[in-house]
Chains A and B, each alone.
Chain A
């Protein structure tokens, strides 16, 4: 019982934990508070994280509203804003693909409110009404 309580204590998600790494292939790192750390499966993704994949890298992430994202090789994905209310499904999701490729499957917050999710690229902004799409951004000129 004591063990169960301890464990459940650690599962209370930090407010800034917004998702989880589910798939990692090749080199993938996260930039967080100025440091770059290699990413592993099960690792939590936090607000303001930037995910960076190498030439052989790709990464798959689930978010707490059941949104899914995957980034291909040579990609840089920044999580600018994220909040999700699991009771009302209201929320806000704002991410930037600086370069590379990104796949997106929107989740509960877009279903609840079609303006909840925005994906930015260096030249564009995408409002996501649902559900599945892909984006490619070439290397900056």
Chain B
């Protein structure tokens, strides 16, 4: 039975090819990897009418030289053996950090003052970082005041980052969003420490 299936597969391969010679393609191998949480996403591999859905960690498929697409088992070690150099060149994942401020001021809270050291250490490890700094305020006061305050907060952080990381100005962009993007939704004129913040995004 297995033989019959193999013969059939060969016959199909031959039919799909140009009539005079058998189709030959370069071998291909694709593997889905687990993310940081251990779960995998999925990819759908299509090859001349064949399809494989790879949706588990280390789910893998190969295209053989005869053009057939087959699921194949693999292991973390086998992936490492082939792809270690490739994955070592993967840039660090984009991430973001929050720093919090005292009410009505562009001064950090005591906790954020300590936190900034850790953030700087993290940013120093990243090659050629692109940083966006967005300042926010809580809802105490009008738009004009809060637009200015949120921009001051962002500029304050931008200054520290570009100085300590020794980055050219164009690699750190800043903007103030006033009270338009509350982390904790509140009514107007509410003092909310979590809304007095700067978000640092790095790619």
Q: In the complex where A23-B91, A131-B41, A134-B79 touch, is A126 in contact with B127 (Cβ < 8 A)?
A: no
A38 within 8 A of B: no
Q: How far is the CB of A46 from chain B (nearest CB, A)?
A: 16
B186 within 8 A of A: no
Q: In the complex, what distance in Å separates the CA atom of A131 from the CA atom of B169?
A: 32
A70 within 8 A of B: yes
Q: In the complex, what distance in Å separates the CA atom of A93 from the CA atom of B61?
A: 22
A126 and B169 within 8 A (CB): no
A72 and B79 within 8 A (CB): no
Q: How far is the CB of A122 from chain B (nearest CB, A)?
A: 6
Q: In the complex where A62-B203, A129-B41, A134-B83 touch, is A71 in contact with B89 (Cβ < 8 A)?
A: yes
Chain A residues 110 to 141 lying within 8 A of chain B, measured CB to CB, are 121-141
14 A-B residue contacts at CB 8 Å? A41-B127, A60-B91, A62-B130, A68-B93, A69-B90, A72-B83, A123-B63, A125-B45, A125-B47, A134-B33, A134-B87, A136-B28, A136-B30, A139-B26
Q: In the complex, what distance in Å separates the CA atom of A42 from the CA atom of B42?
A: 31
> Contact partner of A126 among B43, B90, B128, B130, CB < 8 A?
B43
Chain A residues 60 to 111 lying within 8 A of chain B, measured CB to CB, are 60-62, 66, 68-73, 99, 101-103, 105-107
- Chain B: which residue is nearest A73 at the CB level? B85
Inter-chain pairs besides A20-B128, A127-B43, 20 sampled, C-beta below 8 Å: A10-B170, A23-B127, A25-B88, A42-B128, A58-B85, A58-B88, A61-B91, A70-B89, A70-B91, A102-B86, A106-B41, A121-B28, A122-B28, A123-B26, A125-B45, A132-B33, A132-B35, A132-B41, A133-B54, A135-B30
B75 within 8 A of A: no
Q: In the complex where A124-B28, A124-B63, A127-B46 touch, is A101 in contact with B91 (Cβ < 8 A)?
A: no
B170 and A8 within 8 A (CB): yes
Q: How far is the CB of B95 from chain A (nearest CB, A)?
A: 10
B25 and A123 within 8 A (CB): yes
Total chain B interface residues with beta-carbon distance under 8 A: 47
Which residues of chain B come closer than 8 Å to A137, judged between CB atoms?
Answer: 26-28
B127 and A130 within 8 A (CB): no
B94 within 8 A of A: yes
Question: Can you list the 8 inter-chain pairs with the closest CB atoms, starting with the nearest?
Answer: A130-B41, A72-B86, A58-B89, A22-B91, A131-B41, A70-B89, A70-B90, A127-B44
> Contact partner of B82 among A41, A101, A128, CB < 8 A?
A101
A14 within 8 A of B: no
Q: In the complex where A20-B130, A123-B63, A126-B30 touch, is A25 in contact with B46 (Cβ < 8 A)?
A: no
